Amino acid sequence: MGKHNKQERKKRTKWDERSDKRSAEYILRRMDTIKEDLGDLLAEFKAFDQYDHVLLGAHCIRIMDGMRQKYRKIADGQPWQEAD
């Protein structure tokens, strides 16, 4: 009975890893879309001389780039790390 539980746990772990990878890939795609939209918005802010908003938007993009690195690792098959 112990062997059956071990195999079941291993199978569940593999499913969890696949799920994490798919979720990370989805998040990366969404972040790319958001980053592109933000870039378009920054151009609009610049056209209206709203440079404080350009700076805030650029800061958001920089923060997203840092987050993106974490999810790229997961999408590439590395394990989830809580404290990066």
Confidence of residue 1 (pLDDT cuts 50, 70, 90): low
Whole-model pTM: value is: 0.75
Q: Would you say residue 6 has pLDDT above 60?
A: yes
pLDDT in tens, 28-76: 999 999 999 999 999 999 999 999 999 999 999 999 999 999 999 999 9
pLDDT at 77: 85
- Quick: pLDDT tens for 18-33: 888 999 999 999 999 9
Long-range contacts from 23-30, C-beta under 8 angstroms, 24+ separation: 23/74, 24/71, 24/72, 24/74, 24/75, 25/75, 27/71, 28/68, 28/71, 28/72, 28/75
Where would I find the H helices in the chain?
2-47, 51-75
